[in-house]
Structure 1
């Protein structure tokens, strides 16, 4: 019977809120989802942490909302996944994206549906997503996610999550980083010594302090976001969470989007909405609420009398930025401090949580004396190419809406756009042809909404693992196709095992992986020999032996090794070493593999991020503003 590793988060010893520690093992700048997740992941490993946030912990704006399978795996590890699932939609009908002219309105073509695609594991994608992970995709606006993470972080690191504390200086010394912190309430200035610092502040302060250069284009397109309450129950679309709006009056440009954010309904009956309107839609004074409301009503086809209540708003611009360094001495950049890209694809928050999961097990291993400081260099080696890929992909996704407008025949000539829209709805051969063309362009958005290859299939080309020389399965740049594999650098394949646990609950292969140290995964028949060989290995890195029954057909098909082979798996479930069958000297082979992993692996001769930086620049050059 398999023994799954239960998700447990033992709190650090409490410290009083009015007492300031003079030192800590890891100081975290920033109290957003990345910083809070880092605090919990490190606390889970028994690492002393201190998180400082320059603002308070009152969360005012929805921001990100999509939580993909890999993110939910990390949240499962820190005991927050169940709370997220309990607070998000209980049905799957929200899993699609739609395109309309307007939501409603009196005009002939108002409220006209242009097309739709399945999204986030919905419809025909459901089985593919289920096979990729034991944790389902979730939807929770950051307005509600952040308070949940904050509560859990307070419980995990009591007294160590401090508000209105601004980092104003970092002095790097040989054995520590001395962090100067300004209390924005009292004006007091204090210093805290930290072994390491995680900058998860969105780059607001850390970028200038560290002098880290960001590569890529800035300020490519301006968008105005509104968090509002309004009644859209008259919209003919019953279920979609996300709607895009294209109209002849906008030419080839998308007017904007709406996203249902609940809190009880995530469809046309949603009480609150996140509305994103292209800045060019706002006519008149951009600070005048009447002008802002007018842009919303125009986009959605609502009358001037339609009631809208504004909760908050923000302006932002599309960027495609990747830091040249993710590590600067004892300081590590994570999340938006290290990379910024458009929200298309929903990869911002998710990539930040991946940063946290990648970095924190390595920090814990180094601080516990289980690995050399060189292991921490693998953080940049692994994460920078991935977020460069994500940035390029997000910018390319942003360019997938104008072709829909062009297929509809929208252009600078508004009257011609209306004539072509009439053809689009006509029951004629010309109408059939235009609808087919529009559908083809809508379907291309599967690269955005069915991007399982990006969300679950990302893998590392260099870093803390031992390459085995095998080829990457499939096309590594395909954002849609997902190929489960045990190839080193890839995510451990997920299968539901034939045997349940002692409580009768289903167990995934993922559930066998230890939260601390490395896990050697092998078959039940080979476990005794591997356990004996592991005892001969001299290492400070904890090593857990996990086994799966030889006759588990699903695992035998997925493992890609013989029954006497083994997989060495990291806490972030990346395969670190694969041996297809029992080596002549298993202990020596395991020793050699551990030596590579704990020093952070080897580096390639070329920069794996460079091809994606080229794509970033190319996508930025054609982005429709």
Structure 2
């Protein structure tokens, strides 16, 4: 028996497990990925990549490698059986630094995620290792895997000892079953067939969701000339029919002039699921991605929701592993991620209902959509993707803006001492939401994305002032211990003045010029002059600059940050 020691053992080499492993590796910790297959899955599954996920790939140092397999500004149109557009989803804002939606080729992206682990001397990916046992010993875990030969037969066992284990092995997760947690929800019986072809015979770069009562379908233009179709199978159509070329040609006949001339590169069937684990943690064992939640494919959120899990869990695991936080920080993972995963399942299920309406309900839907398109405000609700629930963490590593109470954050901000400083636009708190990422200027660089300046860990930033102004020596000691970057956002016109003035500050301050006014606009409509940003770029606290010590203390408590001399 061979034994390997690591900090985190990840079960499953899908995109979530590989992203998690890269985020752990890039922060200097050991990670081992165990995968039962002998190679990565080579057929496309996910096709939509959000701006939030791109931001994570940048943190992992892999966006440049992944970008060639994507196409930005993926436009989605919901059409009825006659081809009339009912709604268009074409968000053009780039508040997080990248286009909101991308099409992508998943096997090629997964390949880059796997290759990325080769950058780290203490990261490894082991194919042909099927996990069969797991033990939580209180201070560490052991994971036992069978080594599989080329024929899939067991050829010995390997035991991996680690501080933590994360199950990312999909909907049939061994880890989730070992944890004994529920997997609540439902799986509609409707089956769909996926057909991918090369040399796209349609040629349009858009996505069409065909709400056709005769047979709902999806048509997607993907990178590298690939076109995907998805067709709903009727109850009286056996799954085996998809193996019949004549049946496939009949499905495609309404979409292309000559189905027989197409080169099919992938064909398979699937069923939509909407399920959610009752807990994402048990002791030193966690769930992420499809092991924690399954959702229909309508809005392309299965892949992205898993990446959000990896982003959230990675910084918390590495904070605990590095002695920066106590183990209770890891309890906030379920608190923060489970609710948003449920919200995404619900909105995807609703989208599926709209897609599969029959003739009578479909006519009502079409009339309703036509009326909504006449009202700009409601039309923009779909065009700008406002129906998609953005992650907002109201419990976890947050501090309420009105009271600075750690661990909870109300979305509203209408009462309390700071009420006179709010206006109608500023009564919603930014705490628990992701911070924007415009392009900025510094003394060292011009026109760079904000994340490149603030770095991958904690940030305390103010608008127009010295962030050290109200921090005590004890506060500054906490800042140094936890590598909190102190940042001053400035109008570009004042950057040179601030850079000179803040050289006398009691701690280093990075001055960031705001050339386009994006940061000023953000603070203009929010009742705060200071924000504390978490390593995942979510706002942990927002307050007036004079409240900096209280906000810092509240965040330290919510995140279980260690003090000098503590042992995590």
TM-score normalised by L of structure 1: 0.73
Q: Distance in 1 between matches of 2:385 and 2:216?
A: 24
Q: Counterpart of 2:395?
A: 462
Say which of 213, 217, 224 aligns to 2:182: 213
The 8 Å contact of residues 24 and 193 in structure 1, kept in 2 or not, is answered as yes
Shift of 1:441: 7.8
Shift of 1:162: 1.1
Shift of 1:312: 3.4
Shift of 1:489: 1.2
Q: Aligned to 1:454, what secondary structure does the other structure show?
A: coil
Distance 1:197 1:373, change over 3 A: same
Q: Distance in 2 between matches of 1:247 and 1:65?
A: 22
Say which of 45, 53, 56 aligns to 2:35: 53
The 8 Å contact of residues 538 and 591 in structure 1, kept in 2 or not, is answered as no
Shift of 1:461: 1.2
Say which of 175, 180, 198 aligns to 2:166: 198
The 8 Å contact of residues 40 and 110 in structure 2, kept in 1 or not, is answered as no
Say which of 56, 61, 85 aligns to 1:115: 85
Q: Counterpart of 1:278?
A: 232
Q: Distance in 2 between matches of 1:287 and 1:241?
A: 30
Q: Counterpart of 1:543?
A: 484
Aligned 1:161-172 pairs, distance under 5 A: 161-172=125-136
The 8 Å contact of residues 381 and 387 in structure 2, kept in 1 or not, is answered as no
Aligned 1:405-420 pairs, distance under 5 A: 405-406=359-360, 409=363
Q: Counterpart of 2:47?
A: 65
Q: Does structure 1 residue 139 correspond to structure 2 residue 103?
A: yes
Q: Counterpart of 1:595?
A: 557
The 8 Å contact of residues 29 and 35 in structure 1, kept in 2 or not, is answered as yes
Q: Counterpart of 2:75?
A: 95
Q: Distance in 2 between matches of 1:246 and 1:567?
A: 44
Q: Counterpart of 1:27?
A: 9
Higher-strand-fraction structure? 2
Deviations 1:152-206 (A, max 9, x none): 2333457601111111110111111110011112611121111101111114222
Q: Distance in 2 between matches of 1:501 and 1:485?
A: 33
Q: Counterpart of 1:241?
A: 206
Deviations 1:201-226 (A, max 9, x none): 11422222222211111244222223
Q: Counterpart of 1:255?
A: 216
Comparing 385-394 and 310-319, the one that deviates more: 310-319
Deviations 1:38-58 (A, max 9, x none): 011001111100011111234
Q: Distance in 1 between matches of 2:428 and 2:39?
A: 41
Q: Aligned to 2:260, what secondary structure does the other structure show?
A: coil
Q: Counterpart of 2:352?
A: 398
Q: Distance in 1 between matches of 2:528 and 2:71?
A: 44
Q: Distance in 2 between matches of 1:403 and 1:454?
A: 21
Deviations 1:22-80 (A, max 9, x none): 21110000101100100110011111000111112343221111111111110111122
The 8 Å contact of residues 72 and 137 in structure 1, kept in 2 or not, is answered as no
Distance 1:501 1:375, change over 3 A: same
Say which of 531, 537, 556 aligns to 1:567: 531
Q: Aligned to 2:393, what secondary structure does the other structure show?
A: coil
Distance 1:328 1:465, change over 3 A: same
Q: Counterpart of 2:419?
A: none
Say which of 55, 74, 77 aligns to 2:59: 77
Shift of 1:290: 5.1
Deviations 1:359-416 (A, max 9, x none): 0100011111111100000000000111011111110111122458546659xxxxxx
Q: Counterpart of 2:460?
A: 520
Q: Distance in 2 between matches of 1:330 and 1:448?
A: 41
The 8 Å contact of residues 200 and 221 in structure 2, kept in 1 or not, is answered as no
Say which of 472, 485, 493 aligns to 2:411: 472
Q: Distance in 2 between matches of 1:538 and 1:255?
A: 55
Distance 1:353 1:445, change over 3 A: farther
Say which of 282, 305, 317 aligns to 1:351: 305
Say which of 428, 440, 446 aligns to 1:504: 446
Shift of 1:460: 0.6
Indicate the RMSD between aligned Cα atoms, in angstroms: 3.5
Distance 1:39 1:467, change over 3 A: same
Q: Counterpart of 1:148?
A: 112
Shift of 1:507: 4.0
Say which of 14, 26, 41 aligns to 1:44: 26
Distance 1:143 1:229, change over 3 A: same
The 8 Å contact of residues 467 and 489 in structure 1, kept in 2 or not, is answered as no
Structure 1: unaligned runs, 5 residues or longer? 1-18, 102-111, 266-271, 411-433, 475-481, 601-625
Say which of 455, 461, 469 aligns to 1:529: 469
Distance 1:222 1:587, change over 3 A: same
Say which of 514, 520, 542 aligns to 1:556: 520
Q: Distance in 2 between matches of 1:540 and 1:324?
A: 36
Shift of 1:289: 5.2
Q: Does structure 1 residue 316 correspond to structure 2 residue 270?
A: yes
The 8 Å contact of residues 397 and 448 in structure 1, kept in 2 or not, is answered as no
Q: Distance in 2 between matches of 1:145 and 1:67?
A: 11
